[in-house]
Structure 1
Amino acid sequence: MEISAALIKELKEKTGAGIVDCKQVLTETKGDVNKAVEILRKKGLSKADKKAGRAANEGTVTLKTEGKRGLVVKVNCETDFVAKTEDFKKFASDVTELIFGKGYKFSSEFPTDVEDLRKNVIAKLGENILVSDWKFIEAKGELYPYIHRDKFSVKVAMIADFSISKKDGETEELMKNIAMQITAMNPIAVDVSSIPADKLSQVKAEFEEEARQSGKPEKIIENIVKGKLEKYYDEVVLLEQAFILDEEKKVKQIIEDFVKNKGIDFKVNSFVRVSL
Structure 2
Amino acid sequence: MSGKQIFQTSSKKRWYAFSWMSSALVIGLIIGVICVVYTLGKIQIPPFPTINTNTALTEKSTARLKKSKQFKEFTIVKSELEKIKRDRELKHLKHIGTKDRINMGFYVSSWSNEVREQSLSDLRRNIGHLDMVAMESFFTVPNQDTVVDKADTAALKVIHQYKRKAIAQISNFSGNDFDGQTVKAILLNPDKQQRFIDDILLKVKRNGFAGINIDFENLQLDDHQPLNDFMAHIYTVFHTEGLLVTQDISPENDDYDPISLQKYNDYIIT
Query: In which range does the TM-score fall when normalised by the shorter chain?
Result: under 0.3
Question: What's the TM-score once normalised by structure 1's chain length?
Answer: 0.25
Query: Which of the pair has the greater relative contact order for Cα pairs under 8 Å at 6+ separation?
Result: 1
- Greater C-alpha radius of gyration: 2
